Amino acid sequence: MQTRIVQGTGVMRWGSSVSDSASLTEAIEHASEIVLEQLDGRPADLVMTFVSYQHASSFYSVNELLRQYFDDAVIVGCSGAGVIGGGSEVEHRAGVAISAASLPGVSITPFHITQDDLPTPDSPPDSWEDLIGVPAIEDPSLILLPDPLSIEADRLISGLDYAYPRSPKIGGLASGGSQDTPHALFLSGKTHRSGVVGVALAGDIKIDTIVAQGCRPVGEPMVITECENNVIRKLGDKTPLEVLKTLFSTGDEQDRRLMRRALHIGVVMDRLATSFGAGDFLIRNVMGLDEDSGALIVGEKLQEGQIVQFHLRDAETAREDLAAVLDRYLEDNPGRDPEAAMIFSCVGRGQHLFRRPNHDTELFEEMVARVPLTGFFCNGEIGPVGGTTFLHGYTSSFALIGRRSTGPESFKSESGHSESGLDN
């Protein structure tokens, strides 16, 4: 699709809102009017929208309805099991979230890609650049919204990492649908039912990423000394079963309970790292244990010499992990306040995990900034760990958006306040 190049060097401004009206027309009207007010007369160049599956019968009307308020903007979005806008999370009921931005000095390139469009594994980088429509030398930031039922998201992500090694990739898999009722992908006038939609943003814009995987480590880091694909046979001089028995016998009651039902393994992705903290581990599921051999089956292909550590997950742990990665971002980026943010959160988080709404959004606003915050609850979350982009589960992946600069002062201007616009 054609790139939109926004001329000028004016102020970047964002707005965000959400409506839980049962009427799609009313929801889009209400949220759009709030967002336009936040833009304060500036034109909307980019609109991101997420629509809950309670509006499935009207998905083909989404683009037309949005055009009434954002006539000339690039529109990108998808369906979700729940939506997030204005810092409020709408779950288990109808919801429409809208974020709009005035982006002077930014080039906006929307794209729709199908499974058949994906280059082969041995294709050169320029085949991926042709697919996206932006050369890698421009270091674009990529927001990706794949349909999990019709495209190989892992293949897509690894190919884009190969072609755009310096570009952040962030997003989430559309959710709420099924084989019988497909997901919806929205892109500037069209509603697609397969593939991936997204946008490449280049020029005077920068996206930082934060990935909170919701786990805490137990035990000690260990070196894989024997493995085959996704089967770990030895950790040091012990089998995984021997290690787990020791962890179980020395753990407290809470840890033993979580080891029975919420055990994961973290993999250090930076081979040169000598110390590991929040955000350094790629968290993967423990899929099975062979009691005869003591081997462990996990959800990731591994190699001998990699460092791993067992992890546990529950609501308290997820909160502590999110707080830790947010705090680490703040320490690494002092004074770097975002203009806006996007959140791609697992359908297994939210009220299902925390037993209350707005957990992740409130903690983000409390620790980082109260800015326009928009997103949805995903079937899988996209974000980097250790310099490589992965597809995650049970994760909240954040995109912190500001102006491209070498100093913190330029990552800040006049963003509109974030408002929910909930209809009660």
Per-residue tens of pLDDT for the chain, all 424 residues: 678 777 666 789 999 999 999 999 999 999 999 999 999 999 999 999 999 999 999 999 999 999 999 989 999 999 999 999 998 999 999 999 999 999 999 999 999 999 999 999 889 999 999 999 999 999 999 999 999 999 999 999 999 999 999 999 999 999 998 777 899 999 988 999 999 999 999 999 999 999 999 888 889 999 999 999 999 999 999 999 999 999 999 988 888 988 988 899 999 877 766 677 666 889 999 999 999 999 999 999 999 999 999 999 889 999 999 999 999 999 999 888 899 999 999 999 999 999 999 999 999 999 999 999 999 999 999 999 988 999 998 899 999 999 986 444 455 544 555 566 675 4
Phi, psi torsion values for 406, nearest 5 degrees: -100, -5
Q: What is the pTM of this model?
A: 0.90
What pLDDT score was predicted for residue 280? 80
What pLDDT score was predicted for residue 408? 47
Give the distance, in angstroms, between the CA of residue 45 and the centroid of all CA atoms in the same chain.
Answer: 22
Question: Look-up: residue for tokens 């009921």?
Answer: 93
What pLDDT score was predicted for residue 335? 83
What pLDDT score was predicted for residue 226? 95
Rounded CA-CA distance 397/391 in Å is: 10
- Pair 296, 240: CB distance under 8 Å: yes
What pLDDT score was predicted for residue 413? 45
Rounded CA-CA distance 311/319 in Å is: 14
> Would strands 74-80 and 46-52 be described as parallel, antiparallel, or unpaired?
parallel
What pLDDT score was predicted for residue 391? 93
Instruction: Residue 209: name the closest of 77, 331, 335, 343 by CA.
Output: 343
- Pair 373, 361: CB distance under 8 Å: yes
Rounded CA-CA distance 311/308 in Å is: 10
Phi, psi torsion values for 317, nearest 5 degrees: -65, -40
- Pair 94, 21: CB distance under 8 Å: yes
Rounded CA-CA distance 111/237 in Å is: 50
What pLDDT score was predicted for residue 231? 95
Residues 6+ away with beta carbon under 8 Å from 124:
none
Amino acid residing at 187: L
Containing H/E element for 354? Answer: helix 350-354
Plot region of 231 (φ>0 → left; ψ -120 to 50 → alpha; else → beta): beta
